[in-house]
């Protein structure tokens, strides 16, 4: 069977867009794939003695504008960054208000008044020197003055964050040591640790916050701490803990009558269910959250849950419904001029276009998203886009370019400590190495990815790696072990109601059955795969299955049906821009002397 090598190539290509694909998710209102940490009450604080709220707002605007100019961020993208940095703005507000109160006291020194005046023109140096002096003085006195020292440290952290996150972290750590019972200190430290990728330390900070809330029976603090823990547990690959925290947060916010916060928690529960393969529960949770946001007229919340529902439908294999959800979410994000939301939805739509085999639009959307993410400085979004671009190069047979992009993504995911992202990129590297004939290295990558997915309980990743290992064993002609791997993967996809995953595994099993010489069973299995792929509209996969069916009919002696399948396969490949695959199929058509079309 001279076709086996080429057919094997198609078989491998069948899983290049395996369901281990990275996704971008909105797990909080207006959030991104990392989620949004809860900061507490974001309302303006009225300063009775000192600057008016309007004056405070003007100073903050000046500070943020100076920050924009120093970072050379254009005005349009800075609007998105400002939205993302609500935590920073809240902390800066506390700094300005503290200075404002001190400046109107009878014993106010000229240095205090000078610091406030310089803040008005965006100069932070005098304020930083003043708070550093207060920190040192109060710390030396000790006793009850340590609380004032801690407050000064928090203010220094807020000012430092504008240009030096490591210095800001040190000040926030100092604040929690000086005043360990202060909830603001632990929450601010947890926020910054989370945003800078120190997720293990962020969990520790939020656990401290939760302990204080429970000790004081403060439902508001409990709600904030559990919600934040749920987000960090989720992104760091601990879905069981994430689920429990989001459930506790929802209960606390419901008891407090906070409908928007409770809806966020329900949406977060849906996200966690999805990560654990509980797609029915995930859909129900996102629909519940969507209904609340629609009732409240909260458009950011509506966009977030539409996006999350799109993720669920994609995992179920309903690409048409998934695309519809993401397009609706994208429209809202554009109307709200939320750059980060636009980037998320472009990425989500790109995933669907990849499944459909539309690589041109997929790449265009990913590169647009990457440009936005670089402006916003969102490392996780950058990592996601690098990884996806690597998979696009992989699908085109551009191995070196694919490897470069995937390694960039892997490096960023390791910096962030994101186990799910690491697992996905190890899997993608395995695909690259397999295409390069480095089967030992490929097997090692897929086994490492499998171990990580099992560690974090990610069913989708487990199934994908079983499938990828099955493909390697097929390449080694160990068909019995390969068949076992694909059957195990198929069982997980059936449990998840993941139609695309089931179709992919049927495709692999059909090829293995053909390799074993069981042509009738292979034909039946591939026809089942083809039916499912047609139902979900995955054009590139349809083309591959048609090509593999062509070989079966050729062995059965039916040249007419063989040529018909191959011509259909070639036409689809050409239409969706996969010209390399179209040329391979054309070679088969020529070798079989298929009659020309009139």
User: Range with the lowest mean pLDDT among 86-100, 275-289, 380-394?
Assistant: 86-100
- Of the two residues 140 and 357, the one the predictor is more confident about is 140
Per residue in 116-139, pLDDT (tens digit) is: 777 777 777 888 888 898 899 999
pLDDT of 120 reads 79
Backbone angles phi, psi at 32, to 5 degrees: -120, -160
The residues near 220 (Cβ < 8 Å, ≥ 6 apart) are: 40, 213, 252, 256
- How much is the pLDDT for 42? 36
Kindly tell me if the per-residue pLDDT of 356 is higher than 50.
Answer: yes
State the residue for tokens 């019995």.
Answer: 480
The answer on pLDDT for 17 being more than 80 is: no
Q: What is the pLDDT of residues 531-577, one digit of tens each?
A: 998 887 778 889 999 999 999 999 999 999 999 999 999 999 888 77
**400-to-339, 439, 459, 526 alpha-carbon distances in Å:** 31, 16, 30, 32
Q: What is the pLDDT of residues 176-212, one digit of tens each?
A: 999 999 998 999 899 888 877 688 899 999 999 999 9
The CA distance from 125 to 66, in Å, is: 13
> Which has the closest alpha carbon to 30: 333, 445, 326?
333
Based on the number of CB atoms within 10 Å of its own CB, is 142 exposed (0-12), middle (13-18) or buried (19 or more)?
exposed
Q: Rounded to an integer, what distance in angstroms lies between the CA atom of residue 536 and that of residue 543?
A: 13
Phi-psi category of residue 21: left, alpha or beta, with phi > 0 → left and psi -120 to 50 → alpha: beta
SS3 state of residue 308: helix
Domains and CATH numbers, the chain: 53-373 (1.25.40.10)
pLDDT interval class at 83 (50, 70, 90): very low
Q: How sure is the predictor about 77, in pLDDT bands with cuts at 50, 70 and 90?
A: very low
Q: How confident is the model at residue 67 (pLDDT cuts 50, 70, 90)?
A: low
Statement: residue 110 has pLDDT above 70 = yes
Q: Which of 3-7, 197-201, 388-392 has the lowest mean pLDDT?
A: 3-7
CA atoms within 13 A on the CB side of 579: 3
Q: Residue 69 — pLDDT band, cuts 50, 70, 90?
A: low
| Residue-wise burial string across 506-539, b where 16 or more C-beta atoms lie within 10 A, e elsewhere | bbbbbbbbbbeeeeeebbebbebbbebbeebbbb
* Mean per-residue pLDDT over the chain, rounded: 83
Separation CA 81–CA 72 (nearest Å): 12
C-alpha to C-alpha distance for 425 and 152, rounded to whole angstroms: 43
* pLDDT tens string 301-353: 999 999 999 999 887 778 889 999 999 999 999 999 998 899 999 999 999 99
CA 528 → CA 437, 444, 531, 537, 542, distances in Å?
30, 32, 5, 14, 11
311 CB contacts (<8 Å, ≥6 apart)? 23, 25, 274, 322, 348
Tell me if 378 sits within 8 A of 24, measured CB to CB.
no
Residue 462 half-sphere exposure toward CB, CA atoms < 13 A: 19
Question: What does the DSSP assignment read for 392-450?
Answer: HHHHTT-HHHHHHHHHHHHHHHHHHT-HHHHHHHHHHHHHHHHHTT-HHHHHHHHHHHH
Residue by residue, DSSP assigns 497-544 as T-HHHHHHHHHHHHHHHHHTT-HHHHHHHHHHHHHHHHHHT-HHHHHH
Return the top range by mean pLDDT from 109-113, 194-198, 498-502, 531-535: 531-535
89-103, 259-273, 364-378: least confidently modelled range: 89-103
């Amino acid at each position: 069977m001279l076709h086996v090598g080429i057919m094997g190539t198609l078989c491998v290509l069948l899983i290049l867009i395996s369901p281990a694909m990275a996704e971008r998710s909105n797990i909080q209102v207006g959030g991104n794939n990392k989620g949004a940490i809860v900061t507490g009450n974001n309302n303006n604080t009225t300063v009775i003695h000192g600057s008016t709220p309007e004056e405070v707002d003007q100073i903050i605007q000046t500070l943020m504008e100076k920050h924009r100019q120093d970072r050379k961020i254009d005005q349009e993208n800075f609007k998105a960054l400002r939205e993302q940095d609500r935590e920073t703005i809240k902390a800066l507000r506390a700094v300005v208000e503290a200075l404002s109160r001190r400046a109107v006291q009878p014993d106010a020194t000229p240095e205090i008044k000078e610091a406030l005046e310089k803040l008005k023109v965006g100069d932070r140096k005098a304020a930083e020197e003043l708070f550093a002096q207060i920190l040192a003085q109060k710390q030396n006195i000790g006793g009850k003055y340590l609380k004032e020292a801690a407050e000064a440290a928090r203010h220094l952290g807020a000012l430092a964050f504008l240009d030096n996150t490591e210095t800001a972290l040190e000040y926030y750590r100092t604040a929690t040591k000086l005043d360990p019972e202060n909830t603001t200190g632990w929450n601010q430290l947890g926020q910054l640790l989370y945003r800078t990728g120190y997720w293990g330390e962020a969990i520790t900070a939020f656990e401290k916050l939760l302990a204080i809330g429970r000790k004081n029976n403060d439902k508001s603090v409990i709600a904030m701490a559990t919600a934040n823990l749920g987000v960090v547990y989720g992104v760091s690959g601990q879905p069981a803990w994430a689920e429990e925290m989001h459930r506790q947060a929802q209960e606390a916010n419901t008891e407090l009558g906070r409908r928007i916060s409770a809806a966020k928690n329900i949406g977060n529960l849906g996200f966690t269910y999805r990560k654990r393969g509980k797609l029915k529960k995930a859909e129900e949770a996102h629909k519940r959250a969507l209904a609340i946001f629609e009732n409240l007229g909260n458009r950011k919340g509506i966009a977030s849950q539409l996006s999350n529902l799109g993720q669920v439908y994609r995992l179920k294999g309903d690409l048409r419904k998934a695309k519809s959800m993401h397009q609706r979410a994208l429209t809202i994000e554009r109307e709200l001029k939320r750059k980060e939301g636009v980037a998320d939805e472009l990425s989500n739509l790109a995933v669907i276009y990849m499944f459909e085999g539309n690589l041109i639009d997929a790449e265009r959307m990913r590169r647009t998203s990457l440009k936005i993410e670089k402006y916003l400085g969102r490392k996780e979004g950058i990592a996601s886009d690098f990884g996806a671009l690597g998979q696009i190069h992989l699908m085109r047979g551009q191995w070196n370019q694919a490897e470069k992009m995937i390694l960039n993504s892997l490096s960023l995911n390791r910096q962030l400590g994101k186990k799910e992202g690491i697992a996905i990129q190890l899997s993608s590297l395995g695909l690259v190495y397999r295409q390069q004939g480095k089967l030992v290295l490929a097997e090692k990558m897929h086994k490492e990815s499998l171990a990580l997915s099992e560690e974090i309980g990610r069913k989708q990743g487990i199934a994908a790696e079983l499938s990828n290992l099955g493909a390697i064993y097929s390449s080694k002609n160990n068909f019995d072990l390969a068949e076992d791997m694909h059957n195990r993967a198929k069982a997980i996809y059936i449990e998840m109601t993941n139609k695309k995953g089931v179709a992919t595994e049927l495709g692999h099993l059909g090829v293995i059955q053909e390799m074993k010489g069981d042509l009738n069973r292979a034909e039946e299995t591939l026809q089942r795969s083809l039916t499912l792929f047609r139902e979900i509209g995955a054009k590139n996969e349809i083309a591959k299955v048609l090509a593999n069916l062509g070989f079966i009919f050729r062995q059965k002696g039916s040249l007419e049906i063989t040529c018909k399948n191959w011509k259909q396969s070639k036409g689809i490949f050409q239409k969706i821009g996969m010209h390399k695959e179209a040329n391979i199929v054309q070679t088969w058509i020529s070798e079989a002397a298929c009659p020309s079309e009139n």
